[in-house]
C-alpha cells in the first residue's frame, strides 16, 4: 500500500478494555484490495447512538465512487486519526470522561489489514495531563506519534515501536497563558501538531493563546522552543489547524473563533512564520454569528487552491493561492450537503473532496475542478455517525 499525501511515561501495554475494544475478528466483508485505483478512506468519529468507532470505506479514484462504510475498529471517540508512513499502522486519539467528571484521553495504535482495511488494536498510551486529545500526527520517519490535548492545553510525543505499538513518552509540553475571549480563551487549548516537510520543526496552533507555537523537533522526539518560539494571529482569532503549501514556502492557519484564514510565509531554515494576510472564510460582508466556527484547512496537491470548512455556515470556502507571494484570493463557497462540517479530505489525485458533516451524520463527495478549484457535488453521500476526520490510504 502507498499512503495518500494528506495524512500526517505510562506502561507500553496499557489497555483499557472497558473503554476501548478493537474488532476481535473481521468476519465477512464485501471489501477487497484488488485494483490500483482504489483507496481506503478512514473516518474518525464521536461515538454514540450512530457510531461505534473508526469506519472504513473504499473509494474509486477513477470514478469517484465511495463505498458503504464498515466498522474498522470499535473504540471510544476516535475523533482524529493518522497513518504511519509505512502504511501498516493507524493511530487515533480517544477522549473520555472519568467517573469524577474529569477529562481523560489516550492515543491508540492499530495494525491495518491490507486486504480489508480493518484494524486490530495493538496498544494504547495516555495522551497526557488534562486530557481531551483532539489531534494526532506521525513524523516523517515513522518513529513518533504526536498528539495535541485541547482540554489540557498540551502536546505529547510518543515513541513508536518497530511493531507499530506505542512506547514511552518522548516529550511533553504544557502551554500556559490566555487571550482576550474569556469563554473560549481563559487558558491554553492546543488544537493540532504538525511537522514541516524536513521533519525539523513542529507547529502547534493553540486556540486559547492566539499563537502557533513552534518547536524544534529532535531525533529522539524531543520538543524544544524555537527562536522565534511562536507566530501570532489577531487577538480573539482562535487558531485551530495549519497546512503547508507543497512548495514549502507558505503555510495557512484557519482560525476557529474569528472564521478567518491567515497566510504565512515560511522560512524553513529558521522555522519562522511571518503573516502575509488574513481573510474571512465567509462571503463578503457576512458577519460571524455565534453559531459559526471553522474547522479544517487543506492545500490542494497542485498548490493552486486552499480549502477551509465553515461550521454553522456549513460550507467549504475556496481560495486561490498565488504560488509566488503565497497570498490568497477568495473564489467562493460550496454547501457541504450537511450540517457542521468538521474535517474533510482530498483524494491523492486531487480530483475529489470528501466533507464530513458531524451533525447530519453524513460524508458528501465533491468533484474538484483542476482549473478553477470549484467544487461540484457528485450526488453521493454515505451515512457515518458523527464523522470528524477523513484520511485516505491508497491500495496497491
Cα–Cα distance, 344 to 290 (Å, whole number): 23
Let me know if residue 68 belongs to a domain. Answer: yes
Helix, strand, or coil (residue 5): coil
Look up the CATH number of the domain holding residue 17.
2.130.10.10
Q: Give residue 18's domain range.
A: 1-169+374-396
Mean pLDDT of all residues in 274-280: 98
Residue 193 covered by a domain = no
Given a contact cutoff of 8 angstroms between Cβ atoms, the answer to whether 217 and 267 are in contact is no
Least confident of 92-101, 217-226, 242-251: 92-101
Q: What is the pLDDT of residues 40-57, one digit of tens each?
A: 999 999 999 999 999 999
Examine residue 27 and state whether it is found in any structural domain, yes or no: yes
Residue 236 · residue 185 · CB < 8 Å? yes
Residue 258: inside a domain: no
C-alpha to C-alpha distance for 28 and 18, rounded to whole angstroms: 26
Domain-located, residue 349:
no
- Would you say residue 134 lies in a domain? yes
Kindly state whether residue 5 falls inside one of the protein's structural domains: yes
How far is the CA of 27 from the CAs of 31, 42, 349, in angstroms? 11, 19, 31
* Number of domains making up the chain: 1
Judge whether 149 lies within some domain: yes
Q: Residue 34 above 90 pLDDT?
A: no
Q: Which residue has the cell 474535517?
A: 343
pLDDT in tens, 116-146: 999 999 999 999 876 789 999 999 999 999 9
Amino acid at each position: 500500500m502507498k499512503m495518500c499525501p494528506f495524512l500526517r511515561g505510562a506502561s507500553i501495554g496499557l489497555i483499557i478494555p472497558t473503554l476501548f475494544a478493537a474488532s476481535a475478528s473481521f468476519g465477512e466483508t464485501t471489501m477487497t484490495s484488488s485494483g490500483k485505483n482504489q483507496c481506503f478512506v478512514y473516518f474518525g468519529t464521536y461515538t454514540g447512538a450512530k457510531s461505534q468507532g473508526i469506519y472504513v470505506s473504499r473509494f474509486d479514484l477513477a470514478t469517484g465512487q465511495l463505498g458503504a462504510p464498515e466498522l474498522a475498529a470499535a473504540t471510544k471517540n476516535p475523533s482524529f486519526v493518522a497513518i504511519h508512513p509505512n502504511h501498516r499502522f493507524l493511530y487515533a486519539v480517544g477522549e473520555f470522561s472519568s467517573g469524577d467528571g474529569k477529562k481523560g484521553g489516550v492515543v491508540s495504535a492499530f495494525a491495518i489489514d491490507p486486504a480489508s482495511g480493518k484494524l486490530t488494536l495493538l496498544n494504547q498510551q495516555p495522551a497526557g495531563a488534562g486530557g481531551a486529545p483532539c489531534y494526532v500526527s506521525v513524523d516523517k520517519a515513522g518513529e513518533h506519534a504526536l498528539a495535541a490535548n485541547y482540554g489540557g492545553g498540551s502536546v505529547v510525543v510518543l515513541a513508536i515501536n518497530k511493531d507499530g505499538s506505542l512506547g514511552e513518552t518522548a516529550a511533553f509540553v504544557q502551554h500556559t497563558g490566555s487571550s482576550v475571549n474569556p469563554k473560549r480563551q481563559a487558558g491554553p487549548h492546543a488544537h493540532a501538531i504538525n511537522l514541516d516537510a524536513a521533519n525539523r520543526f513542529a507547529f502547534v496552533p493553540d486556540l486559547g493563546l492566539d499563537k502557533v507555537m513552534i518547536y524544534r523537533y529532535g531525533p529522539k522526539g524531543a520538543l524544544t522552543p524555537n527562536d522565534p518560539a511562536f507566530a501570532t494571529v489577531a487577538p480573539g482569532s482562535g487558531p485551530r489547524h495549519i497546512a503547508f503549501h507543497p512548495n514549502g514556502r507558505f503555510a495557512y492557519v484557519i482560525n476557529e473563533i474569528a472564521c478567518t484564514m491567515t497566510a504565512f510565509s515560511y522560512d524553513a531554515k529558521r522555522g519562522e512564520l511571518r503573516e502575509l494576510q488574513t481573510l474571512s472564510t465567509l462571503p463578503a460582508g457576512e458577519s460571524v454569528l455565534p453559531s459559526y466556527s471553522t474547522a479544517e484547512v487543506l492545500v490542494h496537491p497542485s498548490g493552486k487552491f486552499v480549502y477551509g470548512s465553515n461550521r454553522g455556515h456549513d460550507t467549504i470556502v475556496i481560495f486561490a493561492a498565488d504560488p509566488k507571494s503565497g497570498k490568497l484570493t477568495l473564489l467562493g463557497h460550496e454547501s457541504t450537503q450537511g450540517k457542521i462540517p468538521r474535517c474533510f479530505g482530498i483524494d491523492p489525485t486531487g480530483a475529489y473532496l470528501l466533507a464530513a458533516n458531524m451533525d447530519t451524520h453524513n460524508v458528501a463527495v465533491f468533484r474538484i475542478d483542476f482549473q478553477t478549484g470549484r467544487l461540484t457535488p457528485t450526488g453521493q453521500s454515505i451515512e457515518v455517525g458523527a464523522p470528524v476526520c477523513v484520511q485516505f490510504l491508497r491500495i496497491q
